[in-house]
Structure 1
């Protein structure tokens, strides 16, 4: 029967955890650094992603709760093209003044984006808060879910990368310490070894 060697790679990867005369204290320390780095990167990244995603979702939900659509009326004819206004526009829309009634019958006015050449008296939908003040239109639930998920993923990846970087720096520092120890050991053993070779 042929002998397979499937266990060799795993043995090489886990050699720092096995008892052997060549394993040094620094090898055990490095093994713990690697293990803790991966555990903290995965768990920390997952927790950070969930927390950040949840916070973003709650913030967007609160934003939606504070805003509500209001019917407003154009107070004058809108410009015919985006180039006809100096206020800037978002593509195929133009800026024009509108008026709407807030809570308690208070009247509010503002400039909003509307279709070009819209006639005075045309009704448009704007978003306002509880006081009737104009606010930015909130994301719909689907858009909010996507943005919250993206925020969670970015936070999770960022946290995991930060932990991995710290672990990598710790291993680099450990390698430098090992090299210094090897140099000191060679300073002590080298002359004796050379005497044996030349004696």
Structure 2
């Protein structure tokens, strides 16, 4: 058998990514490689790029939001002040309050020696005369405590994960739609492609050219 009748072997070295890249660029030496195969390789590379983009977008969203929330927390925290309140009554149930299960009358001083009284949220079972930490605003009224940095980081991370999932989902849906189109295209072109490639692959093309032995 002449060397011309033996199909040339394609290179199998390299990582799967390198092989897909070589095929996408049209450098695959496999004679069975069709245009639809090159399109599939390009599609896989596009999917990989989309997933990398999703990671980048998710990280960027998380970092930007974390920076913004920290700046806002600093602005709000500049007008919050810790004081010590003294309860004037024992705690009573407060089912309408979300942060505290009980409330009590209390007094505290802010700013300076200015006295304030009011109803504040307290832990259940707090006795009269108990001293409790309390956050107040610039006017001395009770205020919510500043959020801890861990809470801000968790919220930013959740938004980042949401952005990652969104971009990733769009990339995946686009990949699936395009892949189905390529599958239908491959099914339609299978017989014409095989008629073109089979003589070269089997060696019958060389046999026909030489007129046989």
TM-score scaled by length of structure 2: 0.64
**SS of alignment partner, residue 135 of structure 1:** coil
Alignment of 1:45-60 (within 5 A): 45-60=58-73
1:97 lines up with 2:116 in the alignment: no
Structure 1: gaps of 5 or more residues: 80-84, 194-199
Structure 2 CA distance for aligned equivalents of residues 157 and 97 of structure 1? 43
Structure 2 residue aligned with 1:182 = 186
| 1:140-159 matched pairs, under 5 angstroms | 143-144=148-149, 146-159=150-163
- Render the CA deviation track for 1:111-150: whole Å, top value 9, x for unaligned: 3305735334x443311111222112224xxx31x22332
In the TM superposition, structure 1's runs of 4+ consecutive aligned residues that sit over 6 Å from their partners are none
How far apart in 2 are the matches of 1:58 and 1:67?
15
Q: Aligned to 1:66, what secondary structure does the other structure show?
A: coil
- 1:70 is matched with 83
Given that residues 114 and 124 in structure 1 are in contact (C-alpha distance below 8 angstroms), is that contact kept between their aligned partners in structure 2? no
Q: Which one has a bigger Cα radius of gyration?
A: 2
Kept in 1, the 8 Å contact 2:93–2:124? The answer is no
Check whether the contact 1:16–1:31 (CA below 8 A) recurs between aligned residues: no
Say whether 1:61 aligns with 2:65: no
Q: Is the 8 A contact 2:87 2:104 kept in 1?
A: yes
Q: Give 1:96 deviation, angstroms.
A: 1.5
CA 1:17–1:152: 2 relative to 1, 3 Å: farther
Task: Say whether residues 1:162 and 2:166 are aligned partners.
Answer: yes
The unaligned stretches of length 5 or more in structure 2 are 1-11, 197-213
Deviation at 1:11, TM superposition (A): 4.1
User: What is residue 56 of structure 2 aligned with on the other side?
Assistant: 43
| TM superposition shift of 1:162 | 1.8
Partner of 1:22: 34
The answer to whether the Cα contact below 8 Å between 1:72 and 1:100 also exists between their aligned partners in 2 is yes
